Structure 1
Amino acid sequence: MSTRQALVLRLTAPMQSWGVRGGFADYRDTATHPTRSGVLGLLGAALGQSRSEAPGPLTALDLTVRIDRPGTPMQDYQTIGGQSRTEVVPCANGHLRTGAVITRRAYLADAAFTVILTGPAALLRKVSDALDHPVHPPYLGRRACPPTEPYNLGIHQGSVTHLLKTTPLDRQKPRTDDSVTIYVIATITPDDPRVTHTLNDDPHGARHFAERALARSTLTLPAELCSGRGAAPRYTTLHEFRYGPPHSTDTPKPRS
């Protein structure tokens, strides 16, 4: 009897943005957690897919998101061109526009998410290898948002529920409480009474998306699972989660 496998990702950065509204707009939004299209896009970039390419086999993967830190919403005001009324600005769609292009872009600052991917074992291994040696640089929703290392926590045995409860929490350990309550976002069927919200983020072909039904639930975890905010202990915790504890190489010295 085979044991179920899953690929665990840690998605955190100073800023990230998971847009839901399609196309270029004066306001570019972000969801409060990683979108399916955004995560599959990250995997596709690592595999060498172009932005206009359909996700193909990656659609066989299912994802569950644990919100370790929700982050702080912020907006960035940007202008392109506008030095004169006659200045021509190239647009993303290949057309030209006269005058300034003004946009407001939403981000999540200092957010952290654990994403658990399930699907065919061979595909999970292929994706994990690609994340370790990506063809195109990975980013969290937008090219200006590269992930903080390590973002690939490797392939693990066990159910999604088990991994939600055992993967290190990317947050500071509370000073007084002995537990931490976080949110989990999972895909469910549209007729399930547990549906809490929907997102138009399920890729079907190149640049085409369908609505996805989601359930937001709470999960209480022991505070000892928190990896802290110190760089060295956090990295050690994450490294040991992926590769296991180090084996001692010391050999007993002979007694004189």
Structure 2
Amino acid sequence: MSGHVLLIRLAAPLQCWGTVSRFSRRDTHSRPTKSGVIGLCAAALGHDRAEELGELAAIRFGVRADHPGTPVRDYHVIGAGKYPIRPRDIITDHRRAAALSASMADTEGTGFGHHELADWYGAPKYIVTEPDSGALVSKRLARGALVTARWYLADAAFVAALHHPDRAFLETVAAALESPKRLLWLGRKSCPPSGTLAGPLSSGTIESAFQSTALLPAQHVGRRPSPRPWAWIEAAPGAPAAVPVQDQPVTFDTERRAHTTRWETRTRITIAQNATEWDIIP
């Protein structure tokens, strides 16, 4: 398929590419998803969530796993704590101010706006006063801690490929990735990317771009990538050995966020001996 291919370097200490996250369990896919990478590009371009995907919807996607990484679970707890309340936070939120004033109405010598307010502790919402200690606590958080399972990929590095017929559009995306209009992260806000994102821009297919571009350098001494890494490349529906995946973004609008089905094939990539080296800025 003729066109142009932009390669994107996706490397960081932690990455998270959720596919079926629900409630207390937040999973990660073994590799970057198309929805996640298109969302990354949309953020770099400064698109609003409710904005139509436009040319981003026409992108054909591929990803090469240079360093698959290691799945790790974060021990994450929500609730069952007391937190300091800043007077500024309460003053700027009338609901918090009313709740605090009501809870402290019977407390002698203190009140809303008093200088001793900084010594009181509690949760930001649903504020009540503890009968014994007089400390401010949250009704919601007082119920107990909720332990959640949050999975990440540690020390992983991937190369994503964007195939599009318009070279000028891919050049715009590449420039935006290096000078983004919004904050970028690899699947979750706690996972900022490291180093250069935008890579080589070439003409041809995703397969040829993967073959002609060298593997990303190892992140740790002694860890060498396979000379024939796995790659997942978007294919036409019904293509031989193609399987369906549910990560084709339709919209990122929070009111009607939706994904649909696309197809991809899994293949080994043989890197050419004269492959182009990455010009990576740490």
Alignment match, 1:167: 213
Question: How far, CA to CA, are the matches of 1:89 and 1:19 in structure 2?
Answer: 29
What aligned pairs does 1:99-248 form with structure 2 within 5 A after superposition?
99=143, 100-119=145-164, 120-172=166-218, 180-195=227-242, 197-205=243-251, 206=253, 207-221=257-271, 237-239=277-279
- Which residue identity is paired with 2:199? L
Normalised to the residue count of structure 1, the TM-score between the two structures is 0.74
Task: Establish whether residue 50 from structure 1 lines up as the match of residue 53 from structure 2.
Answer: no
Alignment match, 2:108: none
Shift of 1:221: 2.7
- Which residue identity is paired with 1:106? W
Shift of 1:224: 7.5
Shift of 1:82: 1.6
Query: Structure 1 residues 222 and 83 mapped into 2: Cα distance closer, same or farther (>3 Å)?
Result: same
Instruction: Tell me which structure has the larger Cα radius of gyration.
Output: 2
Query: Structure 1 residues 161 and 77 mapped into 2: Cα distance closer, same or farther (>3 Å)?
Result: same
Alignment match, 1:233: none
Q: Is the 8 A contact 2:45 2:180 kept in 1?
A: yes
Q: Is the 8 A contact 2:63 2:158 kept in 1?
A: yes
Normalised to the residue count of structure 2, the TM-score between the two structures is 0.68
Question: How far, CA to CA, are the matches of 1:154 and 1:166 in structure 2?
Answer: 10
- Which residue identity is paired with 1:187? E
Question: How far, CA to CA, are the matches of 2:31 and 2:47 in structure 1?
Answer: 23
Match of 2:76 among 65, 72, 78: 78
Q: 5+ unaligned residues in a row in structure 2: which ranges?
A: 83-121, 127-138
**Residues 61-84 of structure 1, C-alpha deviations (whole Å, 9 max, x = no match):** 111111111110111121122238
- Which residue identity is paired with 1:211? T
RMSD: 3.2
What aligned pairs does 1:53-72 form with structure 2 within 5 A after superposition?
53-72=51-70
Paired residue total:
219
Determine what percentage of the aligned residue pairs are the same residue. Answer: 34
Q: Which has the higher contact order (CA 8 A, sep 6+)?
A: 2
